[in-house]
Structure 1
Amino acid sequence: MRNHLLAIAAIAAAIGAPAAAQAQSTVGIAGPGAVVGGGAGGIAVNQRPAFREYIVRERVPNYTIPDRVVVGAVLPESGVTFYDVPQSFGETPYRYTVVNGETVLVEPRTRRIVQVID
C-alpha cells in the first residue's frame, strides 16, 4: 500500500512539474548596452558614439547613487532628472540621464534602467 501511494505521488509530481516550471520567472543580468523589454526603442550600437558626444556637449549632470548601475535597477524617486532623447537618435519611449558616470535609458514611469550606454 505504501509503495502504491509513493508511486501515485511520484506520478502527480511528474505531471505537475512542467506547469510549475512555466510559472517560474527568469532573472538574469543583461550585458552592457542591452535593452530590456523587447529591445525596441534603445540607442542603436552605431549611434552610441554620437549619443555620448551629445551628452558631453549638453553637460548633463551626473547623479550619484549608492547602488550599482545595471539594467533592471530602479532609480530613486527624487534627486534624479530624466531628459528626452532627441529625435535624431530614433523614436523611443525612454528618457536618459547620467548616473555614477554611466549614461542610461530609463523607463520614466517606473524609473527602471532599460539600457546602459557603453
Structure 2
Amino acid sequence: MHKFAMMTTALLMSVGPSAMAQDTIVLPGEVRTYVLEQNTPSIQYEGEIIVGQPVPDVVEVYPIPDQPDYAYAIVNERRVIVNPKTHTIVQVLE
C-alpha cells in the first residue's frame, strides 16, 4: 500500500502546472451566453490558444458588462474567456 501511495504522488507531481491549469472553470451562465451572442471579429493567430496562458498582445480583449472578473476575445474563430487583469485564458468555449 505504501508503494502505491508513493507512485500516485510521483504521478501527480509529474503532471505539471500546465496540465492542472486546464481544469474546467464553471462560468456564470450569463458570461457564456453573452460571449456566444457577440459578433466580434476574430483575430487570426498562428500560435496555440492554451488555457492558463495569456492571449497574445495582438488580440483585443473585450469586457463583459456587469462581470468584472471576465472578459473575452475571439481568436481563430474560437471564443475564449480571459481574466481581464492578466489576459490569461480561463476557458475556451467549444
With normalisation by structure 2, the TM-score equals 0.63
Aligned to 1:72: 52
Q: In 1, distance between residues paired with 2:75 and 2:89?
A: 10
Aligned to 2:73: 97
- Quick check: which has more Rg, 1 or 2? 1
Q: Which has the higher helix share?
A: 1
User: 1:108 deviation in Å?
Assistant: 2.4
Unmatched 5+ residue regions in structure 1? 1-20
User: Residue 111 of structure 1 is aligned with which of 75, 87, 91?
Assistant: 87
Cα 1:49–1:107, aligned 2, differ >3 Å: closer, same or farther?
A: closer
Q: Deviations over 1:46-98 (max 9, x none)?
A: 8745641x21xxx2010111222221122122x221111133xxx34121110
Q: In 2, distance between residues paired with 1:75 and 1:50?
A: 20
Cα 1:43–1:99, aligned 2, differ >3 Å: closer, same or farther?
A: farther
TM-align CA RMSD: 2.9
Question: Alignment identity in percent?
Answer: 26
Number of residue pairs matched by the alignment: 81
Unmatched 5+ residue regions in structure 2? 1-9
Q: In 2, distance between residues paired with 1:116 and 1:86?
A: 19
Cα 1:51–1:76, aligned 2, differ >3 Å: closer, same or farther?
A: closer
Q: In 2, distance between residues paired with 1:60 and 1:101?
A: 10
Structure 1 residue runs of 4 or more that deviate by more than 3 Å after TM superposition: 46-51
Cα 1:48–1:76, aligned 2, differ >3 Å: closer, same or farther?
A: closer
